[in-house]
Amino acid sequence: MWEIVKSILLDKRLVSVGCLLLVLVFIDHQLPCGIHPIISELDTLEHFVFGFLLSDFASNIANSTGFHEKLNKKFGQGKSRKRDLLIRLGGFLVIGALLWELSELFIFPLLGGPSPDSFFSFPITPKNIDGTIDVTVGIIGCLTAWYLTK
């Protein structure tokens, strides 16, 4: 467990992107009406940074637990980068989609937050497209983090 915590805290990119996300969310929630009326694209930026952060987080966890190494032994080194992408996307979708949406449903109302929008209700219409856009932008952030990794 300590190896996981140490690997996260020593990753400069992960820590700096996490601090950026915290600053964005903090500023957004400290203004009386939020910052969205001033900068409407802030929500998109927050989701992009969140996807970027979760991508690095999932890859870092897989490396520090030896999961990457086990997969390379089982399947060979040849497609290690593609496996890293799948780990990043899986981590983003599990942590980002499931945990975030569950927290919006159960924890945000306890803290006095707004009631959540319908996330993925079909058919997708202009009224309920926000959740779909949020996840798509998060996936783009996840792919960007993967692409920028050596």
* Domain assignment of residue 45, yes or no: yes
* Domain assignment of residue 85, yes or no: yes
The pLDDT of residue 78: 73
Output phi, psi for 76, to 5 deg. 90, 165
* Domain assignment of residue 63, yes or no: yes
The pLDDT of residue 122: 65
Residue with tokens 């945990």, as numbered in its chain: 99
Higher pLDDT residue, 116 or 13?
13
* Domain assignment of residue 29, yes or no: no
* Domain assignment of residue 26, yes or no: no
Number of domains in the chain: 1
Confidence class for position 111, pLDDT limits 50, 70, 90 = low
* Domain assignment of residue 98, yes or no: yes
- Please choose, from the candidates 104, 80, 84, 82, the residue with its C-alpha nearest in 3D space to the C-alpha of residue 92: 84
* Domain assignment of residue 139, yes or no: yes
Least confident of 47-56, 63-72, 103-112: 103-112
In this predicted structure, the answer to whether residue 80 has a pLDDT above a threshold of 60 is yes
- Please choose, from the candidates 15, 12, 136, 149, the residue with its C-alpha nearest in 3D space to the C-alpha of residue 84: 149
pTM above 0.85, yes or no: no
* Domain assignment of residue 108, yes or no: yes
Which residues fall within 8 angstroms of residue 130, CB to CB, at 6 or more apart?
A: 117
Which residues fall within 8 angstroms of residue 30, CB to CB, at 6 or more apart?
A: none
The secondary structure of residue 31, as a DSSP letter, is S
Domain that holds residue 60: 40-71+81-150
Cis peptide before 109 (omega within 30 of 0): no
> Please, which contacts does 35-43 make with residues 24 or more away whose CB atoms are closer than 8 Å?
43/134
